[in-house]
A = this chain, B = another copy of it.
C-alpha cells in the first residue's frame, strides 16, 4: 500500500508520499514514490505514484527517457504546453504500460493498476493538480476539492478535511500532512516512513524544497507524540455529554 497527498495552496503545491512498497506482508521495501521533472524557468512537475510498483516504475522510466531524448520521441512531458497536456502525456503513458503487460502472457493475480497525482506549473499557466486513474482519464483539483490522496487515504483524511486552509503557510501544510501521515502510519502496516516531500512555490518554475523525513526525525517524533496529547485536549474542550436525567 501507499499514502500520498498532493495539496493545492494559494502559495503553491505541497506533495508528500510514504516510501513503503510491499508484496505480501513479509516482503516490504523502501521505494521513492515522488518524482520531479523541470525545465528551470519554464516548468516544474511532480508525480506521486501508488499501485503496482512495476507499473509505476515503468511509467516514471518512460517519462524520464522520453524527456531526455526529446528530439527522438514525441510527445514528451517537458515539451507539454500546459499542465493539462502534461497530464495527458502521463495518463497515456500509464495506460500504455498497463495495456502492454495486462493483456498478454502469464496473468498476474493482482491487477497492474496504478493511480497517480500530477501537479506543477508550466509557463504561462497557473499551478494545477491532477489525479490520474489507471484507465488513463483524470480529474483536476479546484477550490472545492483542493487536495488529492491516493493509497490508504481514509485514516488520514478527517484531519485534512477539518484543518486544510488554502491560505496556510508551507510550514503549516507540512505539519498538517505529517499529522495525517502519522495517523495513517499508526493504523496501517503497509504505509511506512520515511516520507518524501516537495514544496512547489507558484511562479518559481523550478523544483523547490525537497527532502525526506525519517521516522527518527526529532520534529516528526514531536508531532507523533504531541498529537495524542493535543487530541485529548481537543476532546476535553468539547462540552461534556449528558444523559437525560
Chain B nearest CB from A190 CB (Å) reads 13
Chain B nearest Cβ from A175, distance in angstroms: 5
Q: Which of A29-37, A89-97, A115-123, A234-242 has 4 or more CB atoms under 8 Å from chain B? A: A234-242
**A32-62 interface code vs B (CB 8 A; 1 in, 0 out):** 0000000000000000000000000000000
**This chain: how many copies in the complex?**
2
State whether A226 touches B239 (Cβ < 8 A): yes
> Which of A156, A219, A241, A244 is most buried by chain B, counting CB atoms within 10 A of its CB?
A241
Contact with B along A212-245 (1 / 0, CB 8 A): 0000000100110011101111110111111110
Chain A positions within 8 Å of B, measured between CB atoms, are: 154-159, 161-163, 170-172, 174-176, 178-179, 183, 186-187, 199, 209, 211, 219, 222-223, 226-228, 230-235, 237-244
The 24 listed contacts between A and B (C-beta, < 8 Å) are A155-B157, A157-B187, A158-B183, A159-B231, A161-B187, A163-B232, A163-B235, A170-B243, A171-B240, A171-B241, A171-B242, A171-B243, A174-B241, A175-B238, A178-B241, A199-B243, A209-B243, A219-B239, A222-B238, A226-B239, A230-B234, A230-B235, A230-B238, A233-B234
